[in-house]
Structure 1
């Protein structure tokens, strides 16, 4: 069978069977395009129909979530969990609570998670979940009742050796606490490893809160080193101002960069003196305020309500907000302003056209499945600590995170070279490296 025709037929069938799931189509297209060299070298993967099997989740759960608001009125949301691949270990991936969540969103995230988890070298399968619930503006009581209803349905599918959710957008340590409490109550088991992202006080890991933001900066540091650069003196722009963005700002600043700008849903903040990570955390995490409050507190800071944060000239851009936030127009603006490197802190924040523009311009580009793998890697470290009934120090956990991100970077470069690509083509290297590790396990385990 011709490999190109095989890949094209898989993608065509995927689109036919899953119409309307544009984000899932986008994620699959990026991966499938890069797999042809691996499939030519390993025809046994074609014979075993590995690609077809990888593109079809092992299990898809869709369920209703009834709950009552503070007025006593009944509300109903829709919940999802896509258990995509267990070839390397239990399904692992976060839960996202946001009005935009639908099955296509969860499938794209779960598909990406397969390769991301494989790249870490940890024994983790891939999955993702969530609900079209908006925690913004809800009381703690409403969020607790929603989480309890969500877990009442989902608990049947979870377990430390089966499926291990974590947090994502809209799901932090508060939500994880409510979810775990309901799981424990229903099952009568304190299986700490069933959920990650827990508070350090009751089974969580140090650095888990910071892991994704720190990890993307560690990956960026390795990318820059291949060109004889460091973060010292680099001008950095970060999109978003949530968890990932905050800790990317913090670590980049600690390593000598000047973070000029970050954003939220209503505009972006520019601080010519460099964004103060402690003030940013105070504004966003403690006070729960928008970025204009930061601008009011700093003499050389301003908040801009129009345009894009990517209009700010910089050496490095870190998109850390949400999927498809950085399009071709943004990419061309960054290229025009002589951006040197881009690393994705969010999941698929750059469109396919934006990535193409970066590649054509020779911009170093770190895809999310590699660059933001620090979050799930530290979740695996949390599972490890839970299994051994111990808690590591912050320093030990961060050291392990840094080592894992260096290994992910090295794995991407080595794989890209060995399959005929340029060593700096991290998209190509990440896709093939994640695929190879998963495919080998699938072949070994038979037709399951």
Structure 2
């Protein structure tokens, strides 16, 4: 049976021809293997979309009439998702996911199909895609393409449209809700808004996000936060109630925190999450870290940096050193975020010039971010006859504070300092220690 029955076979557009001419050798050899087996195979999904947009193709996904069992005859495969028809082919160090044409039924958990059957129709296979821009197939050997849902036209008109009933498509896998918002941000190509039917479906199906694993939500939301038009997309999510679904709080129109996203430079997603969570308390941050299943490094980063948001050090050199060593490797990012927020008028007690002054001063200081205490506990006990206990720990912390504040470099400097400190008192509550704020 002809797998492309019922579809118009179209000659390759110039963008597709260019993609085909520049396919990696590793993929060309795999495509030749399928042809040698008298099987059909097509490039589908993101590669075709990127080709039409003129953006870099990061990966190639393929669809085939071969079953997973038949595909495993290839010399080097990984059964990545064999249950759902996907086999990964390896060649020349490259990996390609190739999936059998299939039909699906039942999505009771809102994440994956209850049943999958191998199919024989490319049109039916494309009909289960989320968006028309992702429902295009290119046949390299025939130099033709198939676009039964007018995805090319939608791309040309910068429009995001669902394949078929948008509520049904989104309900099949609720992560498609977030994917749709991500696709709205087309980088240099601007912002593409969904048509009215899809826009309504996004609002209607948002409760289904509760069925999605937190790791999948965070993985997708990170990509949204790092987009070129993050402010506009996240504000749209707030207006649609999706952000409340994720964070559990209401967001205002033209929220300053959301506006700030487009002012943040660099690729640190925690910078952007911090901005959104600026008004959260530390317990809320802890709760959100757990609910989104942030990695240990991401959680540590978020909580440590959240505690210093909205604070600036005194502009004296000693205070700047204490601040820099206390905050550590995130000190420059902290100052950049404070500058963004002051530019948007978020703090009444200091302004952009105050932040810039700290940035300039920090650049001139020789700060040892990974400084270690020069005075060990054993050294302090020998010099003072203080026994092990809380007082010893408090004095060690005080000496380290002074070491950083005064930029002391040797144990001789500590010796001299120790003679000037009133450490003989028993009340250690007023003794300084290295911390910020």
Give the TM-score of the pair, scaled to structure 2: 0.28
Higher relative contact order (CA closer than 8 Å, sequence separation 6+)? 1
